[in-house]
Amino acid sequence: MNVTRTQQGAGDEPIAFVDLRRQYAELAPAIDAAVGRILQTGAFILGDEVSRFEASFAAYCEAKHCIGVASGLDALTQILRGLGIGADDEVILPANTFIATALAVSQAGATPVLVDHDPHTYNIDPARIRHAITRRTRAIIPVHLYGRPAEMFQIQRIASEYGLIVVEDACQAHGATYRGHRCGSLARAAAFSFYPGKNLGAAGDAGAVVTDDDELADRIRLTRNYGSQVKYRHDAQGGNSRLDNLQAAILNVKLPNLDRWNERRRAMAQAYRTGLANLPLVLPEESPESRHVYHLFVIRCEARDALVTYLKDHGIDTGIHYPIPIHRQRAYATGCIPLRPLTYSEMFADHLLSLPMHPHMTVREVDRVIAAVRGFYDVTGTLREVTIPVESVTPSFHPSEFADVVESAGTSTRR
Ligand SMILES: Cc1ncc(COP(=O)(O)O)c(C=O)c1O
């Protein structure tokens, strides 16, 4: 395979990292009708569509309550505040995540404690969580990064040993499952983002809290709406963090398509895995205990920046998640506790690359990405010699333990 085969051919459109126009094209009549309905009724704030979406999404996540809020960041912040987490408290989270996970902790008044990752799962390394626990620790926020559920069994076990609360950051994991249960049902509460490019995305900012905790749900219903359930009666000093009725109407149209779109993402991930085999790359691993929904398809490679440029020259857009770890951001020059060493978090920033991934990519586009990546390694020949240290692929706990847990699944990992 040589470079001419992988170059963007005449007539080949550039390949976008995410293409929301195609998603709209698929659902345009239903979305237009839903939006038109709201515009005609004028019911913009906390209307029927919000209630309908909250009921559907709670059921989808196997949870009792869903409370629509303005964003994923708000969902996390409202959960932490609602649980009484604040000044003098520490909250443990992975070091390589979107900054919102840490910002929510800071906005609640607590201190984020950043923990390194497992290089196989890209999620927080449960073994390192124990080292981060102090007398001030109140909660752990595992992030189901890139759409792969975090190791909730081990995390819940540590949490119950130390009396800590677990909150899922499920902002990248709509529809993912862990041991047969949906993300969103695996801890005390979960936060979702419906930022447009998410597996389930709105046409603007939107988010939701999902929980079985009646008291927490009631509190967040108040705090998202000026502390009010009845107009002009204020029982708490709340804020304004409501899910728009318009956004909820769009989410109601999209939700029934989520499982099909996730299946398509999984099929594309499999095509990438097959097409990119035997290159000096580390590809995302599947786990027998979870259903990854590939919000992102992230590879690990040497010469990452040269590959980005090469793919760009071939009309292929890519992403980096994330280029600067939280503890190296100016925003967190102070105000977070990095639990060193953060070997993988530091390494990921230089070596991870997200390939185009959205459910409306065509097979031909996936093939073009594969051909271009293979072309890069052909034309840059010497890279064939590079060996990336890939640790032996051992499960994070012994299979016999897995068998025990499967038998008791449904109780062991749930609150
Ligand atoms: C892991 C994670 N947490 C939190 C958020 C915050 O969500 P939002 O952008 O809706 O505030 C995101 C969104 O990108 C995210 O990916």
Q: DSSP letters along 96-154, please? A: SS-THHHHHHHHTT-EEEEE-B-TTT-SB-HHHHHHH--TTEEEE--B-GGGPPP-HHH
Pick from 124, 174, 195 the residue to mutate for probing ligand 1's pocket: most ligand atoms within 8 Å of its CB.
Answer: 195
DSSP 17: S
Q: Is residue 409 part of a domain?
A: no
Residue environment code for 49-86, b if the CB has 16+ CB neighbours within 10 A, otherwise e: bbebbbebbbebbbbebbbbbbbbbbbbbbbbbbbebe
- How far is the centre of ligand 1, averaged over its atoms, from the C-alpha of 300 (Å)? 22
Three-class secondary structure assignment of 150-211: CCHHHHHHHHHHHCCEEEEECCCCCCCEECCEECCCCCCEEEEECCCCCCCCCCCCCEEEEE
Tell me, yes or no, if the pTM score tops 0.75.
yes
Q: Are 372 and 379 in contact (CB under 8 A)?
A: no
- How far is the centre of ligand 1, averaged over its atoms, from the C-alpha of 98 (Å)? 6
- Please indicate, yes or no, whether residues 207 and 230 belong to a single structural domain of this protein: yes
Q: Is residue 412 part of a domain?
A: no
Of 256, 271, 304, which one is at a domain's C-terminal end?
Answer: 256
Q: Is 169 in the pocket of ligand 1 (CB under 6 A)?
A: yes
SS3 4: helix
User: What's the pLDDT at 398?
Assistant: 26
Q: Is 143 in the pocket of ligand 1 (CB under 6 A)?
A: yes
CA atoms of 91 and 102, how far apart (whole Å): 9
Show the CA angle centred on residue 47, arms to residues 42 and 50, nearest 5°: 130
- Please indicate, yes or no, whether residues 113 and 62 belong to a single structural domain of this protein: yes
Q: Are 184 and 63 in contact (CB under 8 A)?
A: yes
Q: Is residue 359 part of a domain?
A: yes
For tokens 């927080």, the residue is: 124
- Please indicate, yes or no, whether residues 312 and 331 belong to a single structural domain of this protein: yes
SS3 content of the chain, % helix, strand, coil (to 5): 40, 15, 40
- Please indicate, yes or no, whether residues 249 and 281 belong to a single structural domain of this protein: no
For the domain that residue 305 is a member of, what is the CATH number? 3.90.1150.10
Q: Is residue 414 part of a domain?
A: no
Of 233, 256, 279, which one is at a domain's C-terminal end?
Answer: 256
How many domains are there within the chain? 2
Q: Is residue 86 part of a domain?
A: yes
For tokens 């989410």, the residue is: 251
Q: Is 73 in the pocket of ligand 1 (CB under 6 A)?
A: yes
- How far is the centre of ligand 1, averaged over its atoms, from the C-alpha of 255 (Å)? 18
- How far is the centre of ligand 1, averaged over its atoms, from the C-alpha of 134 (Å)? 27
- Please indicate, yes or no, whether residues 242 and 295 belong to a single structural domain of this protein: no
CA atoms of 147 and 304, how far apart (whole Å): 22
User: What's the pLDDT at 378?
Assistant: 86
- Please indicate, yes or no, whether residues 262 and 280 belong to a single structural domain of this protein: yes
| Sign of the dihedral through C-alpha 216, 99, 93, 409 | positive
- Please indicate, yes or no, whether residues 270 and 294 belong to a single structural domain of this protein: yes
Q: Are 205 and 195 in contact (CB under 8 A)?
A: yes
Per residue of the chain (415 residues), what is the pLDDT tens digit?
Answer: 333 334 566 568 999 999 999 999 999 999 999 999 999 999 999 999 999 999 999 999 999 999 999 999 999 999 999 999 999 999 999 999 999 999 999 999 999 999 999 999 999 999 999 999 999 999 999 999 999 999 999 999 999 999 999 999 999 999 999 999 999 999 999 999 999 999 999 999 999 999 999 999 999 999 999 999 999 999 999 999 999 999 999 999 999 999 999 999 999 999 999 999 999 999 999 999 999 999 999 999 999 999 999 999 999 999 999 999 999 999 999 999 999 999 999 999 999 999 999 999 999 999 999 999 999 998 765 444 444 444 433 333 222 232 232 223 232 222 2
Atom 4 of ligand 1, residue of closest alpha carbon: 100
Containing H/E element for 291?
A: strand 290-291
Q: How many other C-beta atoms lie within 10 A of the C-beta of residue 328?
A: 15
Written as one letter, the residue type at 61 is C
Residues 6+ apart with CB under 8 A from 319: 17, 296, 353, 354
Q: Is residue 140 part of a domain?
A: yes
- How far is the centre of ligand 1, averaged over its atoms, from the C-alpha of 194 (Å)? 8
- How far is the centre of ligand 1, averaged over its atoms, from the C-alpha of 6 (Å)? 34
Give the residue among 298, 277, 230, 292 at the shortest CA–CA distance from 374: 277
Rounded to 10 degrees, what is the CA torsion of 15, 16, 17, 21?
Answer: -140
Q: How many other C-beta atoms lie within 10 A of the C-beta of residue 27?
A: 15
User: What's the pLDDT at 379?
Assistant: 72
Q: Is residue 365 part of a domain?
A: yes
User: What's the pLDDT at 386?
Assistant: 41
Q: Is 189 in the pocket of ligand 1 (CB under 6 A)?
A: no
- How far is the centre of ligand 1, averaged over its atoms, from the C-alpha of 184 (Å)? 15
- Please indicate, yes or no, whether residues 75 and 180 belong to a single structural domain of this protein: yes
- How far is the centre of ligand 1, averaged over its atoms, from the C-alpha of 316 (Å)? 24
- Please indicate, yes or no, whether residues 186 and 206 belong to a single structural domain of this protein: yes
- Please indicate, yes or no, whether residues 11 and 76 belong to a single structural domain of this protein: no
Q: Is 171 in the pocket of ligand 1 (CB under 6 A)?
A: yes
Written as one letter, the residue type at 118 is D
Q: Is 199 in the pocket of ligand 1 (CB under 6 A)?
A: no
Domain membership of residue 47 as a residue range: 24-256
- Please indicate, yes or no, whether residues 212 and 268 belong to a single structural domain of this protein: no
The strand pair at 337-338 and 181-182 is best described as unpaired
User: What's the pLDDT at 62?
Assistant: 97
Of 256, 290, 323, which one is at a domain's C-terminal end?
Answer: 256
Atom of ligand 1 nearest to the CA of 143: 1
Q: Are 177 and 291 in contact (CB under 8 A)?
A: yes
* Side-chain-facing half-sphere of 412: CA atoms under 13 Å: 19
Q: Is 172 in the pocket of ligand 1 (CB under 6 A)?
A: yes
Q: Is residue 413 part of a domain?
A: no
For the domain that residue 75 is a member of, what is the CATH number? 3.40.640.10
- How far is the centre of ligand 1, averaged over its atoms, from the C-alpha of 147 (Å)? 12
- Please indicate, yes or no, whether residues 307 and 370 belong to a single structural domain of this protein: yes
Atom 12 of ligand 1, residue of closest alpha carbon: 171
- The residue count for the chain: 415
Q: Is 245 in the pocket of ligand 1 (CB under 6 A)?
A: no
Atom 8 of ligand 1, residue of closest alpha carbon: 72
Q: Are 122 and 346 in contact (CB under 8 A)?
A: no
Show the CA angle centred on residue 303, arms to residues 299 and 306, nearest 5°: 100
